[in-house]
């Protein structure tokens, strides 16, 4: 684990989770692994923050849960993106791009 890791910006975790779930419904551990993979190990989602985030998203109605059977025959809770979750993702992603663009622009101004 010699790679450099980045801290998650406040608020971006929700965005990442929602994005991850656009591909397919996943259980908690799957989400954390997928984020790590997609970011080439740069983003490590501290699981202590993953579950609170998942429950927060559920309370807001952005994800829904279903029980399913995993590959190794275990009962697991699988998170699905809801329609309003999809809308929220779009809105937040746009906002985030705007934000990052602005930050990058400032950083590259010399």
Binding site for another protein (CB under 8 A): 27-29, 32-33, 46-49, 51-53, 55-56, 58-61, 64, 74-77, 82-84
Q: Which helix (H) or strand (E) holds 80?
A: strand 75-81
Q: Find the shortest distance in angstroms from Cβ 93 to another protein.
A: 19
d(C-alpha 38, C-alpha 83), whole Å: 23
Q: What residues have CB less than 8 Å from 32, skipping those under 6 apart?
A: 45, 47, 50
Handedness of CA 59, 18, 71, 43 (dihedral sign): negative
d(C-alpha 92, C-alpha 25), whole Å: 20
CB nearer to another protein: give 66 or 97.
66
CB nearer to another protein: give 51 or 99.
51
Q: Find the shortest distance in angstroms from Cβ 62 to another protein.
A: 9
CB nearer to another protein: give 82 or 101.
82
Q: Find the shortest distance in angstroms from Cβ 61 to another protein.
A: 4
């Amino acid at each position: 684990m010699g790679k450099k890791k980045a801290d998650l910006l406040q608020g971006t975790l929700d965005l990442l989770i929602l994005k991850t779930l656009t591909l397919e419904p996943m259980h908690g551990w799957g989400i954390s692994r997928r984020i790590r993979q997609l970011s080439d190990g740069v983003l490590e989602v501290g699981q202590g923050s993953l579950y609170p985030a998942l429950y927060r998203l559920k309370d807001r109605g952005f994800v829904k849960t279903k029980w399913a059977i995993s590959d190794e025959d275990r009962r697991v809770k699988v998170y699905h993106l809801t329609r309003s979750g999809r809308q929220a993702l779009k809105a937040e992603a746009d906002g985030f791009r705007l934000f990052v663009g602005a930050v990058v622009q400032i950083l590259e101004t010399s």
